[in-house]
Amino acid sequence: MSDDEGMPRKALRTRRRVSFRRRLLRLTFYVLLLVAGIYAGGFLYFADSVASLQPPANPKADAIVVLTGGFQRIDQAVELLKTGAGRRLLISGVNPSTTGGQIRRNTQSSADLFKCCVDIGHDAMDTIGNANETANWIRNNKYRSILVVTNNYHMPRSLLELRRANPDIEFTAYPVVNSDLKSANWLTNPMVWKTILSEYAKLTIASVREALGAHRASGLRTDGGE
């Protein structure tokens, strides 16, 4: 005779419920452990991928767009414009309080260059806004190919959003290399680790949203952020 056969029905039902809960908790733990492992592996792959990104040797496109976030990016984009990598430059996501004159002086560029060939975009509030602001600029100028300048760790998400907003446009990545990622012990630097982890989380969310075809905000001030 088994133990279950000698037990009252109520006690048997209680025992089975406890056993089921234990199995469910154990399964949940293993699933969470698997998800955490996949996420950690994906993070390390992402970090290695962006650390390996290099600018093209001979960049050339109809025009250039730089996504703001530091003058290192803008300096690089202006230099590309000067060398003829593109006919025109959009600086997307500039703070409304920052003028074109201030940017020109910080990049030590000529007034003639900014007057003829540089557009300042103040509408974008985030990366999605950058993509939509760039899309409007591309349509107005009828460009077909764009050189994208931003930090290497920001490049994958930038290209994802830009291609979603501009599916028929050819985008070429021109990453501004973060020297901290070249170091073999970058994981021991809390600031770098936090930046890369945050960007990976944002890319994951953007990728899931893209896969589901979910609605997204415009990221533009002119739309009230809706």
110-142 pLDDT, tens per residue?
A: 999 999 999 999 999 999 999 999 999 999 999
Q: Kindly report, residue by residue over 67-82, the tens digit of the pLDDT.
A: 987 778 999 999 999 9
Residues 6 or more apart whose CB falls under 8 angstroms from that of 36 comprise: none
Q: Is-contact 46 181, C-beta < 8 A?
A: no
Q: Look at residue 184 in the predicted model and tell me its pLDDT.
A: 55
Confidence (pTM): 0.82
Q: Could you report how far apart the first and last alpha carbons of the chain are, in Å? A: 68
Q: Which helix (H) or strand (E) holds 156?
A: helix 155-165
* Span 162-181, average pLDDT: 88
Q: Pick the range with the lowest mean pLDDT from 4-8, 9-13, 49-53, 57-61.
A: 4-8
Q: Look at residue 53 in the predicted model and tell me its pLDDT.
A: 87
CB-side exposure of 194: number of CA atoms within 13 Å? 3
Which DSSP symbol is given to 169? S
User: How confident is residue 146, by pLDDT bands cut at 50, 70 and 90?
Assistant: very high
Q: Look at residue 164 in the predicted model and tell me its pLDDT.
A: 94
> What span, in angstroms and rounded, lies between the C-alpha atoms of 183 and 202?
23
> What span, in angstroms and rounded, lies between the C-alpha atoms of 199 and 135?
23
Based on the number of CB atoms within 10 Å of its own CB, is 191 exposed (0-12), middle (13-18) or buried (19 or more)? Answer: exposed
The alpha carbon of residue 219 and the mean position of all alpha carbons in its chain are separated, in whole angstroms, by 14
CA dihedral 56, 143, 115, 69 (to 10 degrees): -50
User: How confident is residue 48, by pLDDT bands cut at 50, 70 and 90?
Assistant: confident
Q: Please, which residues bridge with residue 149 across strands?
A: 66, 174
Q: Six-digit token pair at 44? A: 């390390």
What are the Cα distances from residue 201, in Å, to 61, 78, 204?
30, 30, 5
Q: Phi and psi (nearest 5°) for 174?
A: -125, 85
27 vs 83, higher pLDDT: 83
